Amino acid sequence: MTRSIIYTVDGAGQLTAMRPSEPRSEDFMQRLVATHPELIADGDGALLLVRREQPIADREDGAGRWSLDHLFVTRTGIPVLVELKRAVDTRLRREVIGQMLDYAANGTAYWQGGRIAESFAATMAAQDKDADVELLAFLGEGTDPRQFWEQVDANFAAGRIKMVFVADTIPAELARIVEFLNEQMRADVRAVELSWFESDDGVTALTPRVIGETQRAQTEKAARSALPRISQDEWVETRLAPLGSKVVQASHAFRQLVAEAGGHVEITRPQASMIAVFDVAGDTLYPMTLAPQAGGLVSLCLAYLLSRPAFADEAVRQALYDQLAKIVGPLRTSNLKGYPSFEATRLNDPLVRDGVRDFLIHLQAVAGACVTGLAAERASQPAQ
C-alpha cells in the first residue's frame, strides 16, 4: 500500500509536507514506544511500562531463555507483551508469531507471583524513581498496589494477556494471522502499524493503526472474562486439588494457622490466591498469601508491607525475612521489596506450621507497637 503525503498547517497558516519515511533503527523505535506507549495503545487505554527486555523462562527454575521487547500493564491489570520489528526485518511474518507464542506459553506456565511487580520496581529504581508513587500516579489515588499486582499475576497465570506486534508496516499475511488468532484465543492479539513521516527540516510524524480489534472477538472475550463468586473450598478444589493432595493438605494448615494467629483467610477478588487477613489496631494487614503458582507457594507480602510505617525500614523487613527463612528454610527470592516465598507443602510439617503461626503473631506485634507509638507521639504534641 502506497502512503500519501501528510500536510500540516501551523497557527500562522504555513503548510508543511510530511513525506513517508522509515525509523532510524529498531532500537530507536523501541525507546520511543517505551517512553510514549500511547503510540501503541488501543481500547484498553493507557499503558505502564514494566520493563524493556523482560526475561522469559522456559522452565520453573529458569532465569530467562528469551527476552521480550517490552512488558506493559493496563490500568485493569492486563499484562501487555510487545514485540517490535522494522518492516525490513524478514522475521516480521511467521517467525515473529511463533516467537510471541513461545513467550506467552512459557511466561504464563512458569511465571512466579510477584515477578512483574519486582520488574517494575527494578525499572523505577534504575530511573531513581519511587515505584509506588509512579504506580499511584498511573492508577489514581486510593488504589492498593498489592491488589493491583495480584490482579496482574492472576491475569498472567490465567492467560488473560494482550500480545501486540508493532512495525512501521504490517504485512497483509501478518494482519490476517493476527485477526485469526484474536478470534480464536483467550488472549487479545493485536498488531499496530506505526507509519513514519518526516518533513524536510527533520520533524517526524507518526500515525498508528490498530489491526485485529474485531467486534466479535471483543464481545466473546468480555463474556469469558467475568469471574463468578467462589467459596474457599471451591477455590481449593479448582485451583489446588490438581496440584495434589499434599498441596490441599497445606491449604488446610494455612487456614488453621492464620485462625490461630487471630486472623482469617479470604479468596482475593481475581481468585489468584488465598490471603491472610489481620486487623491490627484498626488497620487491616495482608501479610501472607497462598497461591497455586509453581506447584503451590506461600509468599510473604513485603511489597505490600513496606507501605506501612512499621515495615518501611529495610532492617525490619530483613529481620522478618531472616526469621521466616529460619522457620521454613531458604526462600525463593531475597528481594525485600517483593514476595519471598516457599513451597506450601512445608506447612504439612507441624513444627513449620506452628512456627509460621508464631511468626504471624510476631508480625502483628511489630505493626501494633508502631501504631501505638505513633498515636502516643501525636498525643504528646502541643495543640496548634
Task: For residue 147, count other CB atoms closer than 10 A to its CB.
Answer: 16
Same domain, residue pair 221 and 276: no
Long-range own/partner contacts, residues 120-123 (CB < 8 A, 24 or more apart): 120/48, 120/50, 120/51, 120/73, 121/303, 121/337, 121/338, 122/51, 123/49, 123/50, 123/51, 123/52
Same domain, residue pair 93 and 175: yes
pLDDT reported for residue 260? 96
**E strand segments, 62-170:** 66-74, 79-84, 162-167
Same domain, residue pair 97 and 238: no
Residue 1 inside a domain? The answer is no
Same domain, residue pair 13 and 127: yes
pLDDT reported for residue 374? 46
Same domain, residue pair 204 and 246: no
Per-residue model confidence as pLDDT tens digits over 220-237: 544 445 556 788 999 999
Q: Indicate the DSSP class of residue 137.
A: H
Per-residue model confidence as pLDDT tens digits over 112-162: 667 888 889 889 988 888 888 888 888 865 567 777 888 888 888 777 888
Measured between alpha carbons, how far apart are the two ends of the chain, in Å?
72
> What's the whole-number mean pLDDT along residues 285-305?
85
The residue from 225, 247, 282 where one domain ends is 225
pLDDT at position 57 over 70: no
Same domain, residue pair 283 and 144: no
pTM: 0.58
pLDDT reported for residue 216? 45
- Strand pairing partners for 283? 280
pLDDT reported for residue 372? 59
Same domain, residue pair 99 and 77: yes
Give the domain CATH number at 373. Answer: 3.90.1150
Q: Is 95 left (phi over 0), alpha (psi -120 to 50) or beta?
A: alpha
Q: Are strands 264-267 and 204-211 parallel, antiparallel or unpaired?
A: unpaired
Residue 279 inside a domain? The answer is yes
Same domain, residue pair 210 and 286: no
Per-residue model confidence as pLDDT tens digits over 169-215: 888 888 888 888 877 777 788 888 888 898 888 888 888 888 876 54
> What's the whole-number mean pLDDT along residues 330-338?
82
**E strand segments, the chain:** 6-9, 15-21, 47-56, 66-74, 79-84, 162-167, 188-198, 204-211, 264-267, 274-280, 283-285, 288-291, 297-300, 341-343
Q: Indicate the DSSP class of residue 229.
A: P
Residues in Cβ contact with 188 at an 8 Å cutoff, skipping those fewer than 6 apart: 78, 161, 162, 163, 182, 217, 221
Residue 107 confidence class, pLDDT cut points 50, 70, 90: low
pLDDT at position 256 over 90: yes
Residue 352 inside a domain? The answer is yes
Task: For residue 314, count other CB atoms closer than 10 A to its CB.
Answer: 13
Residue 145 inside a domain? The answer is yes
The residue from 225, 250, 279 where one domain ends is 225
pLDDT at position 343 over 50: yes
Q: What domain count does the chain have?
A: 2
Residue 376 confidence class, pLDDT cut points 50, 70, 90: very low
Same domain, residue pair 187 and 65: yes
Same domain, residue pair 245 and 155: no
The mean pLDDT of the chain is 82
The residue from 196, 225, 254 where one domain ends is 225
Radius of gyration of the chain (CA): 24
pLDDT reported for residue 323? 96
Same domain, residue pair 156 and 21: yes
pLDDT at position 64 over 70: no
240: domain range? 232-380
pLDDT reported for residue 112? 64
Same domain, residue pair 140 and 194: yes
Residues in Cβ contact with 330 at an 8 Å cutoff, skipping those fewer than 6 apart: 342
